């Protein structure tokens, strides 16, 4: 039996949590022992809090009142805005391969757990991109299991499970009946993230590493290219990618000085060649497409759909239910299933 079968209702001792934490956004789901589900969503925007700033004392005093929290990691205090309804003035972290081992990642995770009010956790499930899974999974388990305090209250985590990020969407697709019924067909979870795009090939829940791949092109590359298009069209420098993203996500025009720009109609057609190239790489890894069923997911999935349809004519292509949150929802399923299997094990003394 696969370790994460279709979920059956568990009897939880403590809360279980699934968090999808990437360069773009933080998505989290928690279920408590009474079956109540709490969610959180906010951009992965973080910066060190400058204690020497004249506004530092004011910022600390206003923390939490407007969704701002200040986790502390290795003696460094960070500023994280845990709201998604407004444009953050705080930057996203630098795209380094060791992001998941960084203090910024730990601080964002601490902020997410605080937002969920998750302090006694039986199982926490997090994910990593496919291309860095083997590099980060063991360290993430070691780093977060046990009793931790990052300035937002003591958190006790009994068990940490690390999955490839698209596997969360695979579980969500299974739970919503979107996997093909034909046992000879492979599902390809096509997960468009902020910094990378992952393609996870599986038959049922059995993954095929030889046909799975991650490429370092995601919504950040799309937004950067859109900024280039805008600069050329307007003759003005465009540097704030978060404004472009905010306008796209909220179906708004982008105000640039005295102009309102319809960025979707102006820019999206011009980024398609770059997206086409990324999909060609993924298609090459799949080998043949005669036996696949594609499920698109991730916050940027809808912007990659036209290129997918061009690259795989005649292949069934569907979008997973709620693509932005589908990995985190699947991680919650994995956490609940793990809790079921773990239920009879004695708790460590610190719990």
Structure tokens at 66: 């407007």
Distances in whole angstroms, Cα of residue 195 to Cα of each of 34, 133, 218, 220: 36, 15, 5, 6
- pLDDT above 70 coverage of the chain, percent: 85
Tell me if domain 15-167+326-342 and domain 180-319 are identical in fold.
yes
The class of domain 180-319 in CATH terms is alpha beta
pLDDT tens digits, 33-91:
999 999 999 988 888 887 545 555 555 555 445 678 999 999 999 999 887 655 455 55
Question: Are 318 and 296 contacting, i.e. CB atoms less than 8 angstroms apart?
Answer: yes
Q: Which residue has the higher pLDDT, 134 or 171?
A: 171
pLDDT in tens, 240-252: 888 898 888 888 8
Proportion of the chain above pLDDT 90, given as a percent: 53
What is the pLDDT at residue 345? 43
The CATH code that applies to domain 15-167+326-342 is 3.30.420.40
Name the residue ranges covered by the structural domains of the chain.
Answer: 15-167+326-342, 180-319
Work out the mean pLDDT of the chain and round it to a whole number: 85
* Predicted confidence (pLDDT) per residue in 177-222, tens digit: 999 888 899 999 999 988 889 999 999 899 999 999 988 888 999 9
Asked if pLDDT for residue 229 goes beyond 50, the answer is yes
| pLDDT for 344 | 46
φ, ψ dihedrals at 139, nearest 5°: -70, -40
Per-residue pLDDT band at 346 (split at 50, 70, 90):
very low
Of 116, 22, 123, 20, the closest CA to residue 69 belongs to: 116
């Amino acid at each position: 039996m696969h370790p994460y079968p279709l979920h059956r209702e568990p009897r939880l001792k403590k809360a279980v949590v699934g968090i999808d934490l990437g360069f773009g956004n933080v998505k989290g789901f928690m279920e408590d022992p009474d079956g109540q589900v709490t969610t959180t969503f906010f951009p992965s925007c973080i910066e060190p809090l400058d204690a020497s700033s004249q506004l530092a004392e004011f910022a600390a005093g206003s923390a939490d009142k407007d969704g701002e929290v200040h986790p502390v990691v290795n003696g460094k205090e960070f500023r994280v805005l845990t709201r998604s309804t407004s444009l953050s003035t705080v930057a996203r972290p630098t795209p380094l391969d060791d992001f998941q081992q960084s203090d910024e990642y730990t601080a964002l995770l601490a902020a997410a757990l605080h937002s969920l009010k998750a302090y006694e956790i039986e199982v926490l499930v997090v994910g990593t991109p496919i291309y860095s899974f083997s590099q980060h999974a063991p360290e993430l388990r070691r780093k977060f299991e046990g009793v931790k305090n990052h300035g937002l209250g003591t958190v006790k985590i009994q068990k940490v499970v690390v999955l490839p990020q698209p596997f969360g969407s695979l579980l969500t697709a299974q739970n919503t009946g979107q996997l093909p019924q034909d046992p000879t067909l492979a599902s390809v979870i096509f997960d468009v993230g902020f910094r990378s795009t992952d393609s996870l090939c599986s038959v049922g829940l059995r993954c095929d590493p030889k046909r799975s791949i991650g490429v370092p092109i995601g919504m950040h590359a799309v937004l950067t290219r859109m900024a280039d298009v805008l600069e050329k069209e307007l003759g003005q420098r465009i540097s704030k990618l978060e404004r472009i993203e905010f306008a796209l996500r909220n179906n708004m025009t982008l105000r640039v000085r005295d102009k309102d720009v319809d960025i979707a109609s102006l820019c999206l057609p011009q980024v398609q060649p770059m997206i086409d190239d990324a999909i060609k790489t993924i298609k090459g890894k799949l080998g043949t497409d005669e036996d696949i069923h594609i499920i698109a997911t991730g916050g940027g999935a809808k912007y990659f759909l036209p290129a997918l349809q061009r690259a795989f004519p005649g292949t069934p292509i569907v979008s997973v239910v709620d693509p932005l949150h589908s990995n985190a929802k699947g991680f919650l399923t994995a956490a609940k299933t793990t809790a079921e299997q773990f239920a009879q094990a004695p708790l460590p003394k610190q719990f």
